[in-house]
Amino acid sequence: MTVDIEKAAPPPVPPVGKTTTGLPKRRRRPVLPGGWVPYLLVAPALAALAAVLGYSLVRNVLISFQEFGRRQLISRTTEYTGLDNFRRVLEMDRFWDSVARTFVFTAVNVVLIMLIGTLVGLLLRQLGQGMRLLLAVSLVVAWAMPVIAATTVFRWLFDTQFGFANWVMRTLGFSGYERHNWFESGTSTLTIATLLIVWASVPFVALNLYAGLTTVSGEVLEAARMDGAGSWRIFWSIIAPIMRPFFLITTFLEIIWVFKAFPQVYALNGGGPDRASETLPVMAYVEGMGQNQYGTGAAISVLTILILLVAMSFYFRLILKQEKEQDA
């Protein structure tokens, strides 16, 4: 009986990482943890937020339904009054003036922050290594400065007697700036607050935009230039669509941060003169801590949160819509 050696021989062993056809073996994708594991990983952060913010938020809501003044604070009594605090606040003309002022103040700041931050981020991409490092360090220093320290510096810059702003105006030949008070009106006070907030917020936008621009292929930009596209066309047709998620989420964050800005406005002029620069957070503090009407101040802060949530719900819906379009 003869044996066919070719038929009896075992099949050749394929090289490591390849199939018998010579094609590379497809690797299996790692399976993400399911069930309770993701929730367990997020639990420490949620517990920290609940401990830091949860109690104070719940306590603030409870106080908004109470008559909580100096007498109640001394006697340690609790007097629930239902919606009286909210009714009293909604009947105040000051409250609606503060609402309008806060929206205008937020809109102006966010537009300037996003515009200047985008320009500085694009500039970082165009600079050489040395100048880019110098500008980046300067931005980080401005961003890292404590809010109260930065507000104090701006207060000195616009000081009535020894301010740098008055000295510059006199040097340029303008009259009437010997002892000019830059905080004599609510508009000028909020203008200085805008300069302060924009100066402190631009680094965040610029550095994050520059980090995102490093992911844009240089070959794509070079091809667009060879096709005759200018800088403006390249930005709107290539960079803006790619960086759209960045612009959406950054604008979302800036609206929240500017809307609740308190120390910059209050430390400059205390919401004055005559409460003409009073925004919603400043009004809540003045009514609560300044007038010892803690129930009224808590009601204003709760209304502020609700107004911000309603306003941001439309923008958040836009972000979700953009994400669905990208997934499709």
For the stretch 132-147, pLDDT in tens is 899 999 999 999 999 9
* Confidence band, pLDDT 50/70/90 cuts, at residue 1: very low
Backbone angles phi, psi at 210, to 5 degrees: -60, -40
Least confident of 94-98, 244-248, 284-288: 244-248
Token code pair at residue 227 = 């096709």
Which token pair is 109?
A: 């700041």
DSSP string, 37-77: HHHHHHHHHHHHHIIIIIHHHHHHHHHHTB--SHHHHHHT-
Q: Is the pLDDT of residue 31 over 60?
A: no
Asked whether the predicted pLDDT for residue 304 surpasses 60, the reply is: yes
**Domains within the chain, CATH numbers bracketed:** 92-292 (1.10.3720.10)
Q: 91-100, long-range: CB within 8 Å, 24+ apart, which pairs?
A: 94/275, 94/278, 94/283, 95/283, 95/300, 95/303, 97/278, 98/278, 98/279, 98/280, 98/282, 98/283, 99/280, 99/307
Output the pTM of the full model. Answer: 0.81
Two structure tokens written together for 210: 């520059």
The pair of three-digit structure tokens given for residue 282, joined into one six-digit string? 């400043």
Per residue in 97-110, pLDDT (tens digit) is: 999 999 999 999 99
Angle at 298 between CA 296 and CA 299, to 5 degrees: 65
pLDDT at 140: 92
State mean pLDDT over 192-196.
94
**Per-residue model confidence as pLDDT tens digits over 210-241:** 988 888 877 888 888 887 777 788 888 888 88
Tell me the mean pLDDT in the region 270-298: 89
Instruction: Tell me the C-alpha distance between 234 and 217, whole Å.
Output: 12
